[in-house]
Amino acid sequence: MANNANKQGESDKKAAVTIENAVAQDAAKPSQPTLLWIAIVILLILGAGLYWLIEQQKLAIATMAERVEAAEQQFDGQLSQLNQTVTTASASTTQLLDNLNATDVGLAEKIAEVVKVQDMTNEDVKRVWALAEVEFLLQTASQRVLLAGDSEGAKMALALADDKLKALADPRLYRLRALLADEQLALASVAKIDIDGMAVRLQSLMNQVDNLQILMAPVVSTTAAASDADQGTPADWKAALLSAWDSVRSLVTIRHQEDGAAAVLVPQERYFLYQNLHLKLATARMALLDGREAVYHDSLTAVEKWLEQYFIGDERDAVLDEVKALNTEKITVKMPDISGSLAWLQEKGNQR
């Protein structure tokens, strides 16, 4: 029994040890919820890492797109600059080609002239030079007529041109000499106007203006009023007032010209009248030299009226007669057309 009891105790001890080991093993093993949370945490970490990776990829793609866009813009700018450079170079090349073509044309003309000169005889050379001189003289005559209205200068130029043609004795230029004769006759029929002489006469009139006598008002006498005022002192203030009124009224004088043509000027206004007369005569002189006939006659007409209204005396009469004589003169004439000879020479003068 004792042995049985010992065996039973040992078996109990073994059972107890076995139970303790099982409990210890159970305690060492983790529970199921803990493993689940650990798995969830690991998945969250993996998801965060994956999200961070995706965002980094997006940022890298955006940076790459910006770089590509900047590169495209730079390429477009370089391409536009290249196109502009090509266009400028093309225009320069075109201009250079045009200049070369013009140079070629000029050289061809020079070569043709040299060939022509080589084929010319001594008489042909003289004829070419003479016709060039004639053309210059005809152009001078036309300019004298159109720009200066100088018929005498134009006639002289036409006469010199006719002498050149006469020395050539070329029957092919007969028509040109006939045109020159007609134009010389037309210039000879132009009325002669002594512009220089008329300008001198106007200048002489301007020098005489300051010597003219202006129609003056009679001098007002105040001696009578002064004598009346000095006779005595009025007895009262009413008499003094009446005396002062009579004195003031005696200083006012209403003047009338006998013919009633214009009011008489006082001495203080004579300066302006002289200056206006000077100005009108100077205007007439400038209009004479410029060929403005309307201004010339208007100015002299105004001078006539002022001389008749505001001046008197023998000198005024002499100046007035001279102004009227100048006012009847014409300062412009219709010039004939003398361009026919020049046109004929430029068209047919080089025919051999």
pLDDT digits (tens, 9 = 90+) for 270-289: 788 888 899 999 999 999 88
Nearest to 229 by CA among 240, 220, 218: 240
Amino acid in the structure at residue 173: L
- Is residue 108 one of the residues assigned to a domain? yes
Same domain, 270 and 207: yes
| 303 vs 118, higher pLDDT | 303
Predicted confidence at residue 246, as pLDDT, reads 59
Has residue 191 got a pLDDT over 60? yes
Range with the poorest average pLDDT among 34-43, 232-241, 284-293: 232-241
Q: Are 240 and 246 in contact (CB under 8 A)?
A: no
Interval 303-314: pLDDT, tens: 999 899 888 888
Nearest to 208 by CA among 319, 345, 57: 319
**Average pLDDT score, the chain:** 77
Range with the poorest average pLDDT among 67-71, 218-222, 329-333: 218-222
Q: Which of 77, 104, 119 is the last residue of a domain?
A: 119
- Is residue 18 one of the residues assigned to a domain? no
Same domain, 203 and 317: yes
Interval 126-138: pLDDT, tens: 888 888 899 999 9
Predicted confidence at residue 178, as pLDDT, reads 92
Task: Work out the pLDDT band at 222, boundaries 50, 70, 90.
Answer: very low
Has residue 298 got a pLDDT over 90? yes
pTM of the predicted protein model: 0.44
- Is residue 169 one of the residues assigned to a domain? yes
Predicted confidence at residue 281, as pLDDT, reads 92
Q: Which of 97, 119, 141 is the last residue of a domain?
A: 119
- Is residue 19 one of the residues assigned to a domain? no
For residues 160-171, average pLDDT: 88
- Is residue 316 one of the residues assigned to a domain? yes
- Is residue 58 one of the residues assigned to a domain? yes
Which residue's structure tokens are 């004439």? 333
| 200 vs 248, higher pLDDT | 200
- Is residue 158 one of the residues assigned to a domain? yes
Burial pattern 308-324, b for ≥16 Cβ within 10 A else e, equals: ebbbeeeebeebbeebe
Predicted confidence at residue 39, as pLDDT, reads 85
pLDDT > 90 in the chain, percent:
16
Has residue 300 got a pLDDT over 90? yes
Same domain, 204 and 285: yes
Predicted confidence at residue 247, as pLDDT, reads 55
Predicted confidence at residue 321, as pLDDT, reads 92
Predicted confidence at residue 119, as pLDDT, reads 57
Same domain, 109 and 136: no
Range with the poorest average pLDDT among 144-158, 210-224, 233-247, 297-311: 233-247
**What SS3 string covers the chain?**
CHHHHHHHHHHHHHHHHHHHHHHHHHHHCCCHHHHHHHHHHHHHHHHHHHHHHHHHHHHHHHHHHHHHHHHHHHHHHHHHHHHHHHHHHHHHHHHHHHHHHHHHHHHHHHHHHHHHHHHCCHHHHHHHHHHHHHHHHHHHHHHHHHHHCCHHHHHHHHHHHHHHHHHHCCHHHHHHHHHHHHHHHHHHCCCCCCHHHHHHHHHHHHHHHHHCEECECCCCCCHHHHHHHHCCCCCCHHHHHHHHHHHHHHCCCCCCCCCCCCCCECHHHHHHHHHHHHHHHHHHHHHHHHCCHHHHHHHHHHHHHHHHHHEECHHHHHHHHHHHHHHCCCCCCCCCCCCHHHHHHHHHCCCC
Same domain, 133 and 175: yes
The pair of three-digit structure tokens given for residue 39, joined into one six-digit string:
């798995």
**How long a stretch of residues is the chain?**
352
For residues 60-81, average pLDDT: 85
Same domain, 199 and 323: yes
- Is residue 271 one of the residues assigned to a domain? yes
**266: exposed, middle or buried (C-beta count within 10 Å: 0-12, 13-18, 19+)?**
exposed
- Count of domains observed in the chain: 3
Task: Work out the pLDDT band at 295, boundaries 50, 70, 90.
Answer: very high
Predicted confidence at residue 123, as pLDDT, reads 75
Same domain, 199 and 292: yes
**What is the residue range of 263's domain?**
194-217+258-329
Burial pattern 33-70, b for ≥16 Cβ within 10 A else e, equals: eeeeeeeeeeeeeeeeeeeeeeeeeeeeeeeeeeeeee
Same domain, 167 and 186: yes
Q: Which of 119, 145, 171 is the last residue of a domain?
A: 119
Same domain, 62 and 136: no
| 77 vs 244, higher pLDDT | 77
Same domain, 198 and 325: yes
Same domain, 137 and 42: no
Same domain, 84 and 100: yes
Task: Work out the pLDDT band at 14, boundaries 50, 70, 90.
Answer: low
